[in-house]
A and B are shown apart, each in its own frame.
Chain A
Amino acid sequence: MKLTDLTASMAAEKIKKREISVIELTKAYLERIDELNGTIGAYITVCAEQALRQAESVQKKLDSGEDILPLAGIPAGLKDNICTKDVKTTCASKMLDNFLPPYDATVTKKLSESDVIVLGKLNMDEFAMGSSNENSWYMPVKNPLDHERVPGGSSGGAAAAVASHMSCFALGSDTGGSIRQPASFCGVVGLKPTYGAVSRFGLIAFASSLDQIGPITKDVVDCAMVMNIIAGHDPLDSTSVDINYPDYTTFLNNDVKGLRIGLPKEYFGSGLHEEVKEKILDAVKAYESYGAIIEEVSLPFTEYAIPAYYIISSAEASSNLARYDGIKYGYRAKEYSDIIDLYKKTRSEGFGTEVKRRIMLGTYALSSGYYDAYYKKALKVRRLIFEDFQKAYQKVDVILGPTSPATAFKLGEKTANPLEMYLGDIYTVSVNIAGLCAISLSCGFDSKGLPIGMQLIGKPFDEGTLIRAAYTYESNTGKSGVTNCGI
């Protein structure tokens, strides 16, 4: 077994027992990146020197007999929309190709305080807008399991890095499925925490009311361990919720007896690929055999989730992305005649097609005369979707369904039809709209050998139950990123 095959918890154990050194482990990952990144394109920036320096200092701590934190010395990657002080943070956009943040995001700070080694910055769809990672200004990311296919998006680089063992774990961000869908396409574990559970300070905003940072890991144990580092109230983020956050590893119990699992009938209708449906229903049977109680539930407003999502997220994006005007940082057009011309050229040249499409969509939705018909109505739908879940949670503890209607598609297959691409988010966007938490984990493969992801959706701040249910499945089936990736 290679060092890079180890999960974070396994590697951390070996580090503590002095079986491996932090430097050795970090070097193994850097070598793996050297070997694979050219093909996969998971990293935009690799911080080899910085990572080695940090590895040395953590190893020193260890050697001096200091107590170290659970994930000390574990190499990880950050999606390139998470600010890292003095390390290029680009959002995979030409607009921020030269942007060096003057500060660290709260999660970046937390990782470094936990002595996690930062390997580099991970590729993504530009400004996190996309479901295939084809919208990166740098290069599309390839699915490590099939290089002709997409890794999903927008945290495509993060999922691909973890699946191809170029990173022990990664932090992604999820606005409408951007952690869960790529985790599903790449056969790894991805958790979107409840809105407000993880600080957004330093996460370059796409849609402020939906964005949430979360872990992409090789297995569920790692997911719980990373959550222990990143979850918690942050006074720098007003939307961060001030409650007591549990030790998520206490939920790593192989026990779902009596757990009520709901299957929303709307998630199993037309549009869901037969092979995906089959594996999800197999997982349902497995849960039943572990002692869970399965019930059908209904989320009647599901069909309105996609339009509401694209209105709300685009509206917020149109405002959040207005600051990229060529004045203060980032790209500025070379030639311009006056300030208006400077804005126009900078933004026309600096943003990619999908970003511009959403800015226009969002600007339109907020315009006077259209606000009530689009934005206000979308907010009403948001409320109704939330109430759908509230009703369902009176009957069940957790909701189970597919993460995505199909497995990873081919590069270029959907780029010509953005609407078709948007419809692939059907099972993930509701979770963001309602501010819930959800985890995606692998539950088998289709006939082409591509991983299929199942999604467990939990009540607000009930990540613990998701971790327990996912851990139970993983423990009984052995299906996780480590064993199934097969590269």
Chain B
Amino acid sequence: MEYEVVIGLEIHAELDTRSKIYCGCTTEFGGEPNTHCCPICTGMPGVLPVLNKTVVEYAVRAGLAANCAISSFSKQDRKNYFYPDLPKAYQTSQYDLPLCKNGYLEIEVDGSVKKIGITRIHIEEDAGKLIHDESGKVSYVDYNRCGVPLIEIVTEPDMRSSAEVKAFFEKLKSILEYTSVSDCKMQEGSLRADVNLSVRPKGQKEFGTRTEIKNLNSVRAIVRAVDGEARRQISVLERNGVIVQETRRWDDEKGESYSMRDKEEAHDYRYFPEPDLTPVVVDEAWLDKIRSSIPELPDERRKRFIAEYGIPAYDAAFITGSKPLADFFEAAAKESKNAKAISNWIMGDVMKKLNDTGLEPLDMPIKPESLSRLVSLIDENVISGKIAKQVFEIMWDTGEDPADIVEKEGLKVVTDTEEIRSIVIQVISANPKSVEDYKSGKTKAIGFLVGQIMRETKGKADPQAVNRLLKEELDKL
């Protein structure tokens, strides 16, 4: 039987505000345990929360960028449960009146465009972190993350494949980056997803029983978890089994999910309106102000890059998918006459470096002006493409300007005809066999001779000059 997979996502994004949602503590990542907290975020008796307005502003910005309706009146609620990382024993969140609702994002998979509905976006606070002792007997609590502001983005069950999930997730990530709502650093947990998934025989209208896979923190894990869970559910159904509605955890190393089977399942969160906070009111004036603060979003930018810089649609889509990458491209391309070359460098060597080093585009060690100068050096025939790769490596490691590197390392193309000619003559006389071959019509031999010349000049000789002079000298023989 053919099955259809139905997927919805719940995504938590940490907001890039300076202070926490209900107190003035820093949101900075890292820090010695329990150094970024105060009586308020550790839920000491008698403390009260005060909502950070920037949190509302950022969440509204995300909502507007995701085509949501913004509630002029929303409220915050308490979600009650016991856990040591939750010092108040409730998480302040939003229950029935979220800040943003009924939005969508458009994704493109295999050339066709599809709308993915966004049910809601609400604000809430993060919890702390448990650190388990090696003995297994003791656990420590770090409250640094307690009260770091989050938005939870809930989608409609509109996705039908891991490719769609990937496209949606990346689109959302780029929007959150573009609007500066979140830094989206996945390895620091700034962005994480829960996957709700069910399968049904193709053509069936009713949804199957869904499972939820919690806390996926890389695109790769999300894609693999979707594929893995879909396979598992289908195989259960094919053996006439029953899918249990449950929360599962994805083990990315083993490539399989397993049931969490803990008491969290039975939770009744006893939501009720947070009496310590007044309703969140977003009036027209504030909304207009936030709306006007929204920068150009990826779709618009993609179209503009094609028009303005004349790069291919594929390149534009790739580069605008990441705001830091697009910013880098634009800063470099502005200074350059060869935007396509810049985009090639970004999609090629830059991406490879980022992947190899595990760096985020935001932490790129080279300056856009440097890349643009590197491209000019090639275009102006100061260095060869091959040498450019060498220069790029040094730029990446040292952050130096490419022209300085070329100067210092003596990497300039040798265009001095006489200098090249003397090396050509030298190579010809050192390789009589190849000259013989060439003369007898084996044109391949010329490639070998060029190679020898380039070796002698450490790749710096202008290849056109080499070709021309070699032919001249050979013809003289």
Partner of B80, one of A201, A319, A339: A319
Contact (A201, B44) CB under 8 Å given A322-B90, A325-B82: no
A475 within 8 A of B: no
Q: Contact between A204 and B272 (Cβ–Cβ < 8 Å)? A: no
Chain A residues within an 8 Å CB radius of B447 = none
In chain B, residues 268-322, which have Cβ atoms closer than 8 Å to a Cβ of chain A? 268, 270-272, 275-278
Return the CB mask of B108-147 against A: 1 if under 8 Å, else 0.
0000000000000000000000000000000001000000
Chain B residues within an 8 Å CB radius of A2 = none
Contact (A238, B278) CB under 8 Å given A200-B48, A204-B46: yes
Q: Contact between B272 and A375 (Cβ–Cβ < 8 Å)? A: yes
Chain B residues within an 8 Å CB radius of A348 = none
Q: Contact between B46 and A105 (Cβ–Cβ < 8 Å)? A: yes
Chain B residues touching A, majority SS: loop
Q: Contact between A236 and B48 (Cβ–Cβ < 8 Å)? A: yes
Return the CB mask of B83-94 against A: 1 if under 8 Å, else 0.
010011110000
Partner of B275, one of A81, A96, A208, A339: A208
B49 shortest CB reach to chain A, Å = 7
Q: State A81–B43 Cα separation when bound (angstroms).
A: 15
A434 shortest CB reach to chain B, Å = 15
Chain A residues within an 8 Å CB radius of B51 = 238
Segment of A360-368, A406-414, A456-464 engaged in the interface with chain B? A360-368
B434 within 8 A of A: no
Q: State A325–B88 Cα separation when bound (angstroms).
A: 9
B268 shortest CB reach to chain A, Å = 5
A365 shortest CB reach to chain B, Å = 9
A315 within 8 A of B: yes
B430 within 8 A of A: no
B174 within 8 A of A: no
B80 shortest CB reach to chain A, Å = 5
Return the CB mask of A346-384 against B: 1 if under 8 Å, else 0.
000000000000000001001110010001000000000
Chain A residues within an 8 Å CB radius of B48 = 200-201, 236-239
In chain B, residues 28-54, which have Cβ atoms closer than 8 Å to a Cβ of chain A? 39, 42-51
Q: State A368–B79 Cα separation when bound (angstroms).
A: 12
Q: Contact between A103 and B39 (Cβ–Cβ < 8 Å)? A: yes
A462 shortest CB reach to chain B, Å = 21
Q: State A368–B80 Cα separation when bound (angstroms).
A: 12
Q: State A350–B236 Cα separation when bound (angstroms).
A: 48
B78 within 8 A of A: yes
A328 within 8 A of B: yes
A109 shortest CB reach to chain B, Å = 13
Chain A residues within an 8 Å CB radius of B39 = 101-103
A445 within 8 A of B: no
Q: State A326–B430 Cα separation when bound (angstroms).
A: 87
A235 within 8 A of B: yes
Closest to A208 in B: B275
Q: State A203–B263 Cα separation when bound (angstroms).
A: 33
Q: State A239–B89 Cα separation when bound (angstroms).
A: 21
Q: State A204–B46 Cα separation when bound (angstroms).
A: 4
In chain A, residues 164-198, which have Cβ atoms closer than 8 Å to a Cβ of chain B? none
A205 within 8 A of B: yes
Return the CB mask of B64-99 against A: 1 if under 8 Å, else 0.
000000000000001010101001111000000000
Q: Contact between B78 and A319 (Cβ–Cβ < 8 Å)? A: yes
* B side interface size, CB within 8 A: 29
A202 within 8 A of B: yes
Chain B residues within an 8 Å CB radius of A329 = 44-45
Partner of A202, one of B47, B90, B276: B47
Chain A residues touching B, majority SS: loop
Chain A residues within an 8 Å CB radius of B46 = 81-83, 89, 101, 105, 201-205
Chain B residues within an 8 Å CB radius of A239 = 48, 275-278
Closest to A326 in B: B84
Q: Contact between A208 and B276 (Cβ–Cβ < 8 Å)? A: yes
Chain A residues within an 8 Å CB radius of B270 = 318-319, 363, 366-368, 371
Q: Contact between B80 and A322 (Cβ–Cβ < 8 Å)? A: yes
A17 within 8 A of B: no
Contact (A319, B90) CB under 8 Å given A208-B276, A367-B268, A368-B268: yes
B456 shortest CB reach to chain A, Å = 74
Q: State A327–B141 Cα separation when bound (angstroms).
A: 9
Interface centre among B42, B46, B268 (most CB of A within 10 A): B46
A209 within 8 A of B: yes
Chain A residues within an 8 Å CB radius of B78 = 319
A334 within 8 A of B: no
Q: Contact between A323 and B43 (Cβ–Cβ < 8 Å)? A: yes
Interface centre among B39, B50, B272 (most CB of A within 10 A): B272
In chain B, residues 372-423, which have Cβ atoms closer than 8 Å to a Cβ of chain A? none
Q: Contact between B47 and A323 (Cβ–Cβ < 8 Å)? A: no
Q: State A102–B44 Cα separation when bound (angstroms).
A: 9
Chain A residues within an 8 Å CB radius of B263 = 340
Q: Contact between A323 and B87 (Cβ–Cβ < 8 Å)? A: yes
Chain A residues within an 8 Å CB radius of B89 = 319, 322-323, 325
Chain B residues within an 8 Å CB radius of A343 = 82
Chain B residues within an 8 Å CB radius of A82 = 46
Chain B residues within an 8 Å CB radius of A208 = 275-276
Chain B residues within an 8 Å CB radius of A138 = none
A125 within 8 A of B: no
Closest to B22 in A: A238
Chain B residues within an 8 Å CB radius of A245 = none
Contact (A322, B50) CB under 8 Å given A103-B39, A315-B272, A368-B268: no
A316 within 8 A of B: yes
Chain B residues within an 8 Å CB radius of A316 = 272, 275
Q: State A238–B22 Cα separation when bound (angstroms).
A: 10
Q: Contact between B275 and A236 (Cβ–Cβ < 8 Å)? A: no
Closest to A367 in B: B268
Provide a sorted-by-A list of 19 A–B residue pairs whose CB atoms are within 8 angstroms.
A81-B46, A89-B45, A101-B39, A101-B45, A102-B39, A102-B44, A105-B46, A205-B45, A208-B275, A239-B276, A316-B272, A319-B270, A325-B89, A328-B43, A343-B82, A363-B270, A371-B270, A371-B272, A375-B272
Q: Which residues of A contact B (CB under 8 A)?
A: 81-83, 89, 91, 96, 99, 101-103, 105, 200-205, 207-209, 235-239, 315-316, 318-319, 322-323, 325, 327-329, 339-340, 343, 363, 366-368, 371, 375
Closest 10 pairs between A and B when the two form their complex, measured CB to CB? A322-B89, A208-B275, A366-B270, A209-B275, A204-B45, A204-B46, A202-B46, A83-B46, A323-B89, A368-B268
Q: Which residues of B contact A (CB under 8 A)?
A: 39, 42-51, 78, 80, 82, 84, 87-90, 141, 263, 268, 270-272, 275-278
Q: A103-B47, A238-B51 are in contact. List 4 more A-B contacts (CB 8 A).
A: A82-B46, A209-B275, A239-B277, A325-B82
